Amino acid sequence: MTENRTTPPAPPVVDRATWLREREALLVREKEHTRAGDAIAAARRRLPMTEVTPLSLPGANGPTPLVDMFEGRDELVVYKHMWEEGKPIAQQCEGCTITIWDFQNAAYLNARGVTFAVWCPGPQEELTRFREFMGYTHPWYSTRGVDDPAYAGGGAIAVFLRRGDRVFLTYETTGRGVEAIMASLKLLDMTVYGRMETWEDSPKDWPQSPTFHFWRTEGRPTAQWTRPGATPVDSSDGGCH
C-alpha cells in the first residue's frame, strides 16, 4: 500500500466507559507480555558465557585494550555499528542511526556498573568525523580488519563481563533484538497508526509505507537533518557534509 496522503481513517468513537473496558481487556494481554519478557530476561541471566580473546582497538585516545573499554566497571554493552568505508556521512546506515540516536546518554547504565561503547568497522578517522557531526558522546572504537566474531559484525548489541583481566561474552542480539534501545519505535507502537510500515497488522486503509521508509529522509538518515551543517545531498557525492 502506498502512503495515504488524505485524511486517514481512525478508530470508532465510543463513550469513556466503553473505552475503559476495551483498554482494561488489552491491559491483561500487556501484563502477560511484560511477565513473559521478565521470564526471558531471567533466562538470559542464566546463560553460560564464553571467553573473548583480548584485543586492542583504535579509539579517540589511540589503541585501547578491551579491558580498558570497561572504564573500571564490570560490564560492557556494545553496539556494533555498520559502516560503508569511504562513503560520505549521508550514506551511512540509517538503521544504525535510528538505533544509536535513541540512546544518547549511558548515565543510568553507568550507575549500575555498566559501560556503553560503539564498535564499528570503519577507519578511525572516518568514525571521528561521523561522531563529531552527529554529536555522539559515547566512546567509539574501530574494528576495521578484525574478523573475530566477538568483535566483528554489525547491527547487533553485545554484552560482556569482566573478571580481572579476562573478558567474557554473556549475550548478543540478533535481528530485531536491537529494538531494545530504539525508543522511537516503541513509542510509535503505542500510537493508533503504529510505525505505519507495510509488515504491520493494521486495520484496512490505515496509512502505511514501505518498511524502513521513514528511517531516511531526502537522501540522509533522518536524524542527520537535526545536525548543524547538514546540507542537501548532492547526487554526485552523496552529501559530504
Residues 186-233: tens digit of each pLDDT: 999 999 999 999 999 999 999 999 999 999 999 999 999 999 999 998
How far is C-alpha 110 from the chain's CA centre? 18
Q: What confidence score (pLDDT) does residue 118 get?
A: 98
Please state the rounded mean pLDDT for residues 155-173.
Answer: 97
Cell readout for 222 is 533522518
Indicate if the pLDDT at residue 73 is higher than 70. Answer: yes
Please state the rounded mean pLDDT for residues 154-177.
Answer: 96
The DSSP call for residue 197 is B
Indicate if the pLDDT at residue 4 is higher than 90. Answer: no
Q: Within 13 Å of residue 3, how many CA atoms lie on the same side as its CB?
A: 10
Supply the mean pLDDT for the chain: 93
Q: Are 97 and 215 in contact (CB under 8 A)?
A: yes
Strand 216-217 relative to strand 50-52: parallel, antiparallel, unpaired? unpaired
Pick one of 3.30.1240.10, 3.40.30.10, 3.30.565.10, 3.30.420.40 as the CATH number of 49-231+237-241: 3.40.30.10
High-pLDDT (> 70) share of the chain, %: 95
| pLDDT tens digits, one per residue of 16-62 | 999 999 999 999 999 999 999 999 999 999 999 999 999 999 999 99
Indicate if the pLDDT at residue 235 is higher than 70. Answer: no
For the chain, what are the domain ranges? 49-231+237-241
